[in-house]
Structures are given as C-alpha cells and as structure tokens.
A and B are shown apart, each in its own frame.
Chain A
Amino acid sequence: MPSSQAKPLVSVIVIVYNDADRLPRAVASVLRQSLRGVEALIVDDCSTDDSFSVAQRLAAEYPGQVRALRLPENSGGCGGPRNLGMTEVRGEYVMFLDSDDELDDHACRNLYEAGERTGAELVSGLSVRRFVGNRNGKTDRWYPWIYSRTRTLDSVSELPDLLVWDTLSTNKAYRRSFLTRTGLQFPLGILYEDLLFSAQAYLAAERITLIPNRVYYWDQWPQAKDKGGASLSNRRHEIRNFTDRLEIHRRIDAMLADRDMAELKYRKDLKFLKHDLVLHLRDLPFLPEDFRQEFAGHARGYLAGLDPEAVAESPFIQRICAYLLTRDDWENLLPAIDTLLNRDKLSSPLVERDGRIFWCGEHLDDPEGRRVLEVTAHGYHSKALGQLFLRNQLTRYAVGPGGVELAGRVVNPLGRIAADAKISAKLEFTARRKTIKSKFAFPVREVRHDADGIVWSATADLTKALRPLGVLDDVWDVRCVFTVNGERTTTRLTVGDLDLAAPPTPAVRPRLTRLTGDRMEPHRSVRGHLAFELAAEGGLARRGTDLIERAVRGEAGPVANTAMDRARRTLRGALRLKRQLNNGDTKLKVYHQLLHRLPVVKGQVVFESHQGKQYSDNPRAIYEELLRRGAPMKAVWSYAGSAAGFPSGATLVKRWSWQYLRALAQAEFWVDNQGFPYRLRKRPETTYIQTWHGSALKKMGFDLASLKRQTPEQQALYLAGLNRFDHFVVRSEHDVRTLAPAYRIGEDRLLRAGYPRNDVLRDEGAAKDRQLAGELGIDLTKPVVLYAPTFRADASGRVRTFELPFDVEEFVERFGDRMTLLVRCHYLNRVVLPPSVAGKVIDVSDIQEVTPLYLMADALITDYSSLMFDYALLDRPMLFFAYDWEEYADDLRGTYFDLLGEAPGPVLRDAGELYEALGDLDLVGKEYTEARQRFVAEYGEYDRGDAAARIADLMFGAADGTEQEAGR
C-alpha cells in the first residue's frame, strides 16, 4: 500500500525551533516506522536558523510522507506549533514528536494496533530517557510501573497514577476524531503546557489503552557548559517557572473538582508534595532572599488548598518542609531541605519534650505544629550514633598555601555527643570509581563543641597527598569521619550557598600523566555535597583530556584512538581481573579444586550461628562446653558483618572470605544452626553437625510450595545442601515428625540430644544475669515480662514493617509501676520506643543471646515465635497474644499444628485481653501448669540439660578422657 496516496494511519507532528541539525534525525525516525501508513508533519515555530529550509527539503525529498508548515511568528513554547499541526493532520491517529527526540521503530504499529483492537481514543506507551553521549549508554525508563502491562481503562480514575505522574503528551497516539470531538488544545503563553494538555486528554478520553512497549525516546543532550543553555526544566530559579506550575495545577484541580474526582485530587496533591515541591525547594538554599520571600508567598497560597489527607500521608520531611514554609521559618526550613534531598540524613539537632522527640523546639504550642514536627517514630534517639547520617554544613572553603582549607559544623542530635566525649575526625577523599588507590585521608586539625553543634576545621594538601590515577577516577567525594568515644560516624559536607568558584583550583598530579588532568575542580553534587572533579587547566592537559574525551566518543584520530583504547583496555582489564579473583565463582572453584586438597586439621571446628550474624544459640553453647572441658579443639567462628562480640579465644573469619573457605575446607567439624553456604560441598572427612535453631510451627523445607514447585534439578541442588548434614539435632518427636521429613533427614542422621542452648533452662540453679540487667537498666525487684513476637510477611514473602500491636504508653500507665516490659522483636524487624517509656519498656532486640533474657523474664508474651518451645522449659507463665492468628495461620504457608488448641497459656485476641491477663500473672501461672507440662513433653522431651555434653562427647570423646570414635 503506497502510503503517499492513501490517507495515513498515523500523523506525527514534529515541532522544531532553531534545531536544524537534529530535525532530520527526528524525521528519519518517523520515516523508519514499521507501520507504513505514517506521515510526518513538521511545524517550525518561526526559527531564526535554517530549520524551515531543512524541513522544506525533507518535504521535497519525501512527497506524501513529509509536509512542512511554519508559524508566522515565534510562539515561545511547544503549544503553538502543536495546535497548528492538529488542524492540518490527516491520519486516523495523531502523535507529537520534538525535534531532538526519536520514535521507536515500532511505535506507530504498536499504538495503532492497540487503538484498533480496543477502540481506545487515547493509547499511551513507555517513554525512555536516553542520555546521549553517555559513556555507559545510560537510559531511564519513565514510570515503568504504569506501563508494566497492557491494560485498557474506561476512565483515568481507574489508574490515578497515570494522570498524576505521566504528564507527557508525546508518548501517546490520539485518535483524530477524539481531538475533533473534544477540541483539545495546548494552552499558550504558559510553561508546562504538557501537564495541562495530558490531564485534559486523560479526563476527556472515553477509553484509554496503555501498552508496555517503548514508543518514545526522550533524549537528554549534553549541555554546552558556557552557553547558559540550561533546558527549561533546569531553570527553576525563574519565579515564573513556579507560578506557571502552580497555575497549571490550579486549572487541573478545577477540572477534577468539576468532576468530583476527590481520589485523583488526593493522589495529585500527594505527588505535588513528594515531587513538584521538592523540585522547587531543593534550590531554595542557594537563592537570594527576595526570591525566597516571593516563592513562599505563592507556595503558601497553594499549599493551603491541598487535601489535608494528602498532607498527612506524605513523607514526614515533606510535611515538615511544607509546614515550616507556611510558617515562614527559614531558620529551620533550610536545614530540613537537606533531609528532603538526603532522606537518611538528620539535619536538625532535635528536641525532647514530654518524652517525645520533635524536629525543632519552635511551633510546639501550635497543635498542628506539634503533630507535624514529632519524629519519635523515626528512632533518631535510639539509633547508635554510627548509624546516624548527620548534617555537616561547610562554613569555609578556601585555597591557601597549605592546600584546601575547610571548616564546618555538625549537628549534635539531642546533645548525644556529650561535652566531655573524646572526639577526633579525619577527611576522606574517595574516588567514585575504584581504581588502584581510591581513598586518601587528611587529619582534621580542630574539633570542638560550639553551642548545639560540633565545629571543625582542616587543611588538605591535595597537590602533595592526593594522587588520582587519571581518566577512570575523575570524580572524588569528600567525607568527614568522626570518632566519638570510639564510635565512628560518617558525614558528607553540605556546600549550601558557599562560593566554590574562588580561585585558584588546587593542582594535582595524576599517576598516569598530567595529560589526563591537572586540577581538582570543586563542585556541589546533585545532593548538595562537596565533590571534586579532575579537570584540565594547563594547555597540555587540556589537549590531552580533549583527546581522551574524543576517543571515548570515538571521534579522535585513528592513532589516538588505538593508543587510548589500549590504555583504557589495559586498565579496565587489570581492574576486572582483580574483581574476578574475588568473585563468588572463582572462590567456589578454588575451594573445590584447591582448598579441598589441603589436609584436614585435626580438631578444627568451624562454628556459625544464623549465617554469621550472631555469636549465639546452639553453636555457642557447644563451643562453650568444649572450651569448659578443655577439648583439643581449634575453634573458628564465622561472622557476617563485624567481629564485635565474637569470642577472642577463637580464630575469627569473615563469611565468604578466603580464610573462611580455607577453614571450612580443612575442618574436622562444621557446627551451625541454619546452613553453611549451599554451594560449598563438604568433604567426606568432615563431620557436619546441624543443630538447627528451633522447632517448627510453620511449614518448612520441602513442605513449602516454593520448593515443591521446583524442577528436579533445582530440588536436587537443594537436597545436596541438606545431604551434607551428618547429624541433625532434634528436641522432640514433634521435630522428628515435621522437620526431619521436611528436610529429608533419615532416621540414621537424627541426633535426639535436645538443644544445647536450652541446657541452662533445665538448670534449677540458673540465676538472673545481674550484670546484663544493670547494663539494660532493668529493675530486678519488679517482675519482668518479655514480649517477643515473630515477624510477618506479605503474600509475596516480603517482611512487613513491625508495629507494636498495643500502645506502650498505655501499658506504662497501667503497669509501669508494677512490672518491666522487655521488647524483643524478630531480627528481621526493628522497634522504636518513645523516650516517655524509658526504664519501663526496654528494647532488647540487639541482645544476640536470648537465653539470659528468658532467665530474667518472669513471664513471656509471644505470638507464634518458636521461642515458645524453649521458654516453656522454665515452667513460667506464658501469654499468647495472637491478635492476627487467622491471618497468620490461614495464609498460604500453613502450620503443622493448631496453636490455639495447644497453647500452654491464655490466647489473647486484643490489647484489652492482654492487659487483663497481665493483671494477674500468678493466676495464669497456676491455671496452665498442666498444659505447660504437656506442652514440654510434646515439644521438648529431649531437652534434659545435657545436650551440649552429649554433642561434645560425640565430637571429642567422653569428658572423662576415654577416646571415642567421632560420630560419622
């Protein structure tokens, strides 16, 4: 079908303004379409370059496929030319294309097909942002979650995200009859015309179809630095930018109000807070005072009209910024914007009032301010200093004879860095891309308290001490690391409105050659932090870097290209080799082919608990027993993150390190409670004692659907991991009936020894750990109750965030004088307690070993955690706070038995019932004595207090010295 004669199926309106160079490229992407019946209609917005003559040339070259139009005078936006185009098109569908972008080759076919199939008036597909000239070919899919699948909407209210987020007009095909029917037009004389046009189109369309296909390439071109040619969306400092945005939003709000679309308005407001406001606020700290005032005036007016629910729903820092903005509190707002850009950062010193934590001390007499500014739940007060990311504001930047002179001020949250604390600090320069040496440190000369902050100053002689490699490591970040009483906390330097341009720029000497750059040019990163970029100032260096840049882009001469390519390849190759040597597959190969040939070291035992996360549980109890009896062992403990808390008497190896692999390869025994890495085979000379970590309520192993559905190969792989166990420790016949078949453990491998960690629970004389109680601030004269819930996962298996199912402040009010509550959440969860309950409710989640807590607790509250099986041995009151049992048990995973029927204590379904039971713990204790004994007999019959001894006997022979053959 020669499309020059027939009516086109799709017309693409290509708008151009002073872009003669790129116009043919855009038009070519239309002519390349796999759908043949496509025409391009070029509309020139009265360019001053030769865009229009290029357009006319294209029209002459492709008659019937390309037409060219021109506005009589420049319209100053995208709306004018597009409106003109819409009056002239002939196709059944209409699309828009900008002269610096491209359509995907199949864009028209896919959009047209979807429209014809569903009868939609508007069909929309995925936009992809391409960073032209980027070394790694970086691309960015635009709102992929909206375009994850083909779907048809009868109204945009079925998918508010579409209207709220995808405000582009270009990734869409509009049925021409739809444009005629509705008379849709782009607004003129205002920025953000796309926002309004797409909102109008979404609301007017009878049916909308979305397709996951890439249709539009939105190209980001490298900007020429000296031309000041920042694109529209980057020129946020123009106030009109903001007022126009607000005006467009107001018009859309009016349309939504007309249609009674409250849900859409709510979503749009939420997005305004999360996105639009952030875009404008982020530059506020660098702008002049009068602009700030004007900005605040406009913002106040618009913020007042937002849906209060959307405000309440938005992230806390957005809420705080919006509030401070309406209150004109610039003092507090400017640091808060730092947190807006760096979500994890704590940029305010905070205050504590009435047992709660607030962002700042102002506005707390205003009830709304109090509500908005409260940040107790974020747990800043209970997090370790090392886990906080504190704002460090640069107060001085200069280049002197000794190097770069820096000074700054760090937030001291709630005064947690005490006046007498030992503080030291250093500056670290780190290359963003790792090469041979990517980190250089400089001492910080002075650190001291100053009012509610810490001030510091330093001089870094970059010329002398910092040696970049060149080419690869061109960007360097700066961090300031503080050590407070031995605890490290890392900060970034926030530049603020400090002037970095002051010459001279510090000189450096790259290791490769100074051809790759000779200066370190400071700049402010996207998130507002100080960074340096290797730059060229001297003539030689400039020519050198130019050559490199061109080589990277493939433009330089052939000689330079080959030489540069070879240099880059060699460097990259060396770095890749280093990475490969340390990657998992190499390690596995070396482990199986080399390390397995080393001799087994007699008596070497590798211990691991919860994959190295802890020094705890059964492996620890066995280790301590062996230590106590002086067994001839060479103990090795594996740790995952930090070695802190692990025993100094053992060799400590980091999980997956070379030392770890070697220790495992040469071990006589492996002892763990969860599983050494599945891909590591065990040699036959090694005995693997799998102690496991708890009896099961929920289905496990091969009883899980996720394993049942696997292919035989996948199942065989899993089974091979399980077959490494030589002994599998069980504590009852319940384990034998559930865990053993679930993990395919045959009778010959079962070790009916009971759990070593529980030996102490069977010891009548075991006492409460007074030292631990002291450290935690627990008053042992009052009863102690341990609350230990398990975690919950959603349908896809993701761990849900934990929230206390009762109000701890109410608990303190009712029981605070009579008992202490210890809260221990599952290691996958975290809990934050308000300061108001300090000393009465205590978070003990960080205590690795749980047994001392059992001993300390006079009663236990749990839900479905397997620690119920252990605590029952103590024969103390147990309360089952099963507020969500149906949801928990009835989900897809399933349980081995009915907890409600078997629980050795009252099953409580809400906070009221819980409080009632807590009121008389003695009664609970008495009433359920028999039930507890039954429960222990059923689920813990082999926990007799000698488990560690029995396993130690098995490993190294009986304690009395008679040698026994180690169990195989």
Chain B
Amino acid sequence: MSRDIFIVSNSVDELGGVSSWSHRMAELLSARGHRVQLVGIAPAVLHKDFGDDLSYGMTTLYQERPASAWTPRYPWQQLDVGARRREAKRVAGVREAAARMSRMFQDAGPGAVVIVTQVWAMEWVAQADLKGLLVIGMTHESYETCRATSRYGRVKRYYADVDRLVALTEEDADAWIRDGMNSTCGIPNPLPFPLPETVQPATKTVVSIGRLAQEKGYDLLLEAWALAVERRPGWQLKIYGLGEEEEALRARCTELGLDGSVELPGRTDDVPGALAGAAVFAMSSRGEGFPISLMEAMACGVPCVSFDCAPGVREIIRDGEDGLLAPTGNTTALARQLGRLMDDRELRDTMAKKAREAIVRYSPEQVTARWEQLFDLLDA
C-alpha cells in the first residue's frame, strides 16, 4: 500500500550523514509510490544543496534556529522576568511549529508514518497531534557512542512511547532492548550509489576517506602505517578529507618519517574516483555508526581493514571473510592486518570479490523492503 511518510529531522539541508540518509530514503520511498515529505525543524548550520528537482516535498518549520530551553540552575533565577518572557515565547513557538506539523499530519491518509531521524526533533513531534499515525524514532549512531553523550538520556525519555525505535544494526537494537527500549529493531543504511560495473586494477595504494578529526583516528593509522610500510617499500597511503587535525597529522608524518609514503590530497566528491586503483581501504576510527565509506569501498571492490569500533563495522565487514578487523586502538594489530592484505594479492582478490557480493545486502531494494515490512508490522 502506498503511504504518506513524513521524515522529520533537525534540518533538511544539513551537510552530514542524516540529511544524506533522509534524501536518499525519500527518493527511494517515493520511487516505490509513497508520498514523502521531508520536514526540518530549523535551517542548517552547514548548508548542503540537494537540488530543486526533487520527487518529494520539503518544509522547514523555523526561519532561524530556535533558542534552547531555559533551565534555571538556582531557585532565584526563577525571578528573572526577561528570561521567563523569552521562555514563554519559545514555548509558544514550539507549540505553533507543532501545530503546523499537526495540520500537515491531518491531511495524511490512513497508515501514515512519521519517521523522526534525530531525537532533538522529537520535542516538536511529541507536541503535534499524532492521532492515527505510526511514529518511528531513529538513532543514527552506535549504542555505545550514544551512551557517552547527553543524547542518551533524551533518547530514553523522548522515544519511550514511539511505536518503534530504529537503530542501525541488530546488535545496537539488542543493546537498546536490554536497556529497556522494548520496541526496537535495526535497519542498515542503504548503499549510496549503484554497484560499479567494473573494478579498477589495483596499485600499491592504501586509501582512507574521512574527516581529519580526532574520532577518525588518523593519528593511529599513521602509527600503524609506520609499522606496516617499514618492510614494504613502494606502498602509498592516501587519506582523503579535510579537518582540524590536518596540521597535526602532517607534523606526525614528518616525525614518523612517512613524508614519502603518505599523501593528504584533501576532500573529494568523487568517491569511486578516489577508490580507483586502491588495493586496500583503511579505517581507523575510534567510534562509528554504520560507516558508508566502508560500504562504498566494498562496492568498488576494495577490501577493507578497520578498527572494530562499532557493531555497524563488524556487520559490514565479516572479519576474515570479506575484510579484516583489529581491536580498536591497537595499532600493532591494525598494522598486522594491513600487512596481511598488502602482502597477499590472492587474499585481496578473494576478499574484494566476496565484499562486492556481500555488500548487495544493503542494496536500496533490500533496505527499502525492510522499511516497508516495518510499516506493515506496525499496522498488523
């Protein structure tokens, strides 16, 4: 059956994973005949242009980002008249935005679904009239990562009564269930692009793509690389991306004597192009959710070596089958795994082949079907 589907996020045009996911899913679901509407609470801080010719609707509730809630720390702050007035205005604003959402929801047909991709947006959704709607909450990061942030408490509070909480993997879903969120399941992200027809021949290159930020662990990748490249001259490591760690990483390269074997070519929009010719893809993150970059590499026929830093990682890479994992933070082990693939062309080829076959389980058809099954279940 075709449904009205509202995908509500903090913003609809943010540069980042959740917006990309929303647009990708909106495109896939509207191709299946559903009427999809993307709803953003506020305009993006870092804007990304997703184009005009969209097969789905797009609305943003606020003209500018609303103030955060007022939480007086001491009793006497309750007397602050100005703050009280501002808070009253903010609350009225939330109510008004929720009312706008309610009007959108009222026009929806039976079986309509609201997917809330981020818990911050749930504060508005919760105040809207949700009668007759299926409400699905999402958490786009691993349970452990969420646990370490203030989002954890909000997920448990604001998502307590949603019809289903959707995590990225079954392992994360199990963790949420053990934690008391008893209606939770895991649905993976879809592949961002169709499987390339051909695989480019590999050269002695290891590639990584990601923001140059501490959580991506490129300092650790360099340490591992120093060990791996020591006895394997001629190999190159290319790390695509920009970020605040760039200077520190360049300095570290020099310190470790890696200037000759490491390149930092900057950001790339052409992922398949960056992966062309790569023999191995490396990921050294300290934490992840369901990393698209691994899926992209595997789709392009590049076997991956990664820290085992999240359930999403060990779900995408089946260790020893279509890629290799190392305990998070253990640079010796990461170097050892890189070395295994660098040394063994046959192993690379086998794993690349298996990776391309296995990654199909995240094809748009498969993932869209999972979502439609979920909608049906919540109706049953």
Contact = CB atoms under 8 A, between A and B. Distances in A.
Contacts of B330: 705, 708, 892
A707 B329 contact: yes
Contacts of B182: 104-106, 110, 213-214
A37 B380 contact: yes
Interface string B303-318: 0000101000000000
Interface stretch (A58-66, A709-717, A779-787): A709-717
B272 to A, nearest CB: 30
B331 interface: yes
Interface in B180-234: 182-183, 185, 214-215, 217, 220
A113 interface: yes
Contacts of A148: 174, 178
A36 interface: yes
A109 B174 contact: no
Chief secondary structure at chain A's binding surface: loop
B329 A150 contact: no
B286 A709 contact: yes
B286 A710 contact: yes
Nearest to A3: B380
Given A9-B380, A705-B329, A711-B286, A213 B177 contact: yes
B245 to A, nearest CB: 10
B170 interface: yes
Interface string A37-68: 10000000000000000000000000000000
Interface in B112-167: 148, 163
A35 interface: yes
Contacts of B178: 148, 212
Interface string A109-125: 11011000000000000
B69 interface: no
Range for the number of chain B residues in contact with chain A: 20 to 34
Contact of A708 (B163, B174, B329, B380): B329
A402 interface: no
A630 B311 CA distance: 61
A34 B183 contact: yes
B328 interface: yes
Contacts of B274: none
Contacts of A705: 327-331, 333
Nearest to A113: B377
A87 interface: no
Nearest to A149: B174
Contacts of B185: 113
A35 B182 CA distance: 13
Contacts of B55: none
B333 A892 contact: yes
A775 to B, nearest CB: 46
Interface in A675-715: 704-712
Interface string A76-98: 00000000000000000000000
Contacts of B183: 34, 106, 109-110
Select the residue from A35, A36, A113, A148 with max chain B CB neighbours within 10 A. Answer: A113
Select the residue from B183, B328, B333 with max chain A CB neighbours within 10 A. Answer: B183
Interface in B220-253: 220
Nearest to A107: B182
Contact of A711 (B148, B331, B379, B380): B148
A287 interface: no
A965 B40 CA distance: 66
B313 to A, nearest CB: 13
Contacts of A213: 177, 182
Contacts of B309: 709
A150 B327 contact: no
Select the residue from A105, A106, A211, A212 with max chain B CB neighbours within 10 A. Answer: A212
B328 A709 contact: yes
A36 B380 contact: yes
Interface string A878-918: 00000000000000101000000000000000000000000
Contacts of B379: 1, 36
A125 B214 CA distance: 40
Contact of A892 (B173, B174, B307, B327): B327
A707 B171 CA distance: 24
B261 interface: no
A29 to B, nearest CB: 14
Interface string B326-338: 0111111100000
Contacts of A211: 177
Contact of A150 (B163, B170, B214, B307): B170
A890 to B, nearest CB: 11
Given A36-B380, A104-B182, A106-B182, A711 B177 contact: no
B3 to A, nearest CB: 15
Interface in A98-147: 104-106, 109-110, 112-113
Contacts of B333: 705, 892
B220 A708 contact: yes
Given A34-B183, A705-B328, A1 B174 contact: no
Given A34-B163, A212-B178, A708-B331, A149 B214 contact: no
A711 B215 contact: yes
A65 to B, nearest CB: 15
B214 A711 contact: yes
Nearest to B332: A894
Select the residue from B163, B178, B327, B328 with max chain A CB neighbours within 10 A. Answer: B178
Interface in B72-95: none
B150 to A, nearest CB: 13
Nearest to A38: B380
A632 B182 CA distance: 66
Contacts of A9: 380
What are the 10 A-B residue pairs with the smallest beta carbon separation, nearest first? A709-B329, A705-B329, A705-B330, A708-B329, A709-B328, A149-B174, A106-B183, A212-B177, A106-B182, A212-B174
14 contacts: A1-B379, A106-B182, A148-B178, A213-B182, A214-B182, A704-B329, A705-B329, A705-B333, A707-B329, A708-B220, A709-B309, A709-B329, A892-B327, A892-B333
Given A1-B379, A214-B182, 15 more contacts: A34-B163, A36-B379, A37-B380, A109-B183, A112-B380, A149-B174, A150-B174, A212-B177, A705-B331, A709-B217, A709-B307, A709-B329, A710-B329, A711-B286, A892-B327
